[in-house]
Structure formats: C-alpha cells, structure tokens
Amino acid sequence: MAAPRPSPPPAGLKPGTVVLGIDPGTRVAGYGAVRYDGQRAWLLEAGVIRVAAARSLPERLGRMAEELEQLMAALAPGVVVVERAFASKNVATAIRLGEGRGLALAAAARARAQVVELAPASAKKTLTGHGRAGKGDVAALVALALGIDAGGAPADATDALSLALAWLFTRPGLGLRRAVPGAAPGQRLGRSAASALPSSGRARRAAGRPGQRREARRAAGA
C-alpha cells in the first residue's frame, strides 16, 4: 500500500491553523506549535521529546517515531516546519540528523499536514536579521514575538518555535510583522511575560492565549 501523501497547501492560511516547528533528532527532538488567529501567532505548546540514550538505535528510532505521531495526533497541525539539513564536518552528526529528519517528515506526511523544510540560518535571519545569531538571541526574539518568558526553556524548544514563526512571518498576505521591529538581539526578558515555556521534559505545557494551560506530559524513557 502506498504511503499517504501530504495534503496540498491551502490557498490561504485560515485563522485557527496550527503551525508546528520541529528541531529533529534521534534522542532529543524539540517542538514548538503556534496558532494563527488571523492577526497574530499565539503559543500553543512547546517542549522537548527525550528518548533514553541507553536504548539501541532501532529502539530509539521506533520510540521517537511513536512520540512524533502522538504529537501530530494531539496538535493536528495544518503546517509542519522541519529543520532542513545543514553541512556538517561530523559525519555521525549528519547521519543522526538525517535519521531524525526522516522521522519528522514521515510523521508530518502521515498527519496530512503541509510539510515545509526551513534552514536554521533562514529562520534566524527572519527573526533577528542575522543568519548566524546565537541561540540566546533566537530565544529572546521568540519570547518577544509570542509575549512569553522563555527563561530556562530548552534551546531545542525555542529553536523549533523559531522555525514555525519564521515560516509564518514570511507568508505573503498574512499581515504578520517580524518578531519585534527594532528589538535588539540579546535583549533581556523580564519575568512579567504572559506565560512561560517549561524548562525540561516533554513540555506539553502551553498557552494558546494568556491564562490557558495544559498539563505537562513526559516522554517514556526521559
């Protein structure tokens, strides 16, 4: 039986559409979902999926595949943005990234989401204006764009959110502006933001709008 194909891209992004970014891996994978309400993006859910490193590679791949499929079923994303492979001098790292990307792409296709691949440098440039911005700068701009406090949040989660936001900010006709016009990379965040990203675990905590939260869940083997 042929594998299901992802549904064609929608003619326009409808209010309520969930855009899910995935920073792939075979042991640790970050994810970040935002909901577009027709005017701006709201944090829906973000966190990290962890699979026990002691497991064999086939076991890790199988468990990660299960977790990603559960994530797709829970969030029902209309668009999934997966980090595109980048050149690496470390062959083993490149292979692991490729395996993780394959799992994420396959899960998104089975969920019949629109699948997009985005290079990390492109996401950084969209959010910060610089393709070589540091992870701290990316996290700061993600937090400012969503009105959250991302202090202590896993970099994998904020990287995943940056993919989702960068894709949204470059869609023509949506009227979304880049994170915060004039915001300087490295700007510190206060503790008065509307909501916060969790600092560990498979996040599953989210705020579609300030005040809304979902109970955290952890991946087996974390």
pLDDT tens, residue order, the chain (222 aa): 444 444 344 447 889 999 999 999 999 999 999 999 888 889 999 999 999 998 999 999 999 999 999 999 999 999 999 999 766 677 788 888 899 999 999 999 999 999 999 998 898 888 887 777 788 888 888 998 898 887 788 999 999 999 999 999 888 766 555 433 333 333 332 222 233 454 333 433 333 332 222 333 333 233
Domains of the chain, start order: 17-196 (3.30.420.10)
Name the residues annotated as catalytic: 23, 83, 156
The rounded distance, in Å, linking the Cα atoms of 146 and 207 is 10
pLDDT of the residue at 81: 98
pLDDT of the residue at 43: 94
The rounded distance, in Å, linking the Cα atoms of 96 and 81 is 18
pLDDT of the residue at 180: 38
The pTM score is 0.76
Yes or no: say if 132 and 93 are a contact pair by the CB < 8 Å rule: no
pLDDT of the residue at 57: 94
pLDDT of the residue at 175: 57
pLDDT of the residue at 176: 58
The rounded distance, in Å, linking the Cα atoms of 221 and 37 is 35
Specify the 3-state DSSP secondary structure of 119. coil
